[in-house]
Amino acid sequence: MNVIVHERDSEHLSREARAMGAVVWDVIQNGELVGIFPSQDEADAYRRSLEEAQLQG
């Protein structure tokens, strides 16, 4: 399983979000978006939960 956390680039934010200076973190699993979070900490926590669930099978 491949889980990646990265900051969403401004091209994929609405004009309003860019104007507010919003930062959004995406969680990608096996090439598909599985979560959107307002902080990197929350995105990393979700990534860890996905990885732990995979290990438990």
Give the full edge-to-edge strand order of the sheet including 32-37. 3-7, 25-29, 32-37
Instruction: Give the closest residue to 7 by CA, choosing from 29, 31, 23.
Output: 23
Residue by residue, pLDDT tens for the chain (57 residues) are: 789 999 998 888 889 988 998 999 999 999 999 999 999 999 999 999 999 998 887
Question: pLDDT exceeding 70 applies to what percent of the chain?
Answer: 100
Which of helix, strand or coil describes residue 49?
helix
User: What pLDDT was estimated at residue 54?
Assistant: 87
- DSSP states of 20-48: HT---EEEEETTEEEEEESSHHHHHHHHH
* CB atoms inside a 10 Å sphere around CB 3: 17
User: What pLDDT was estimated at residue 35?
Assistant: 95
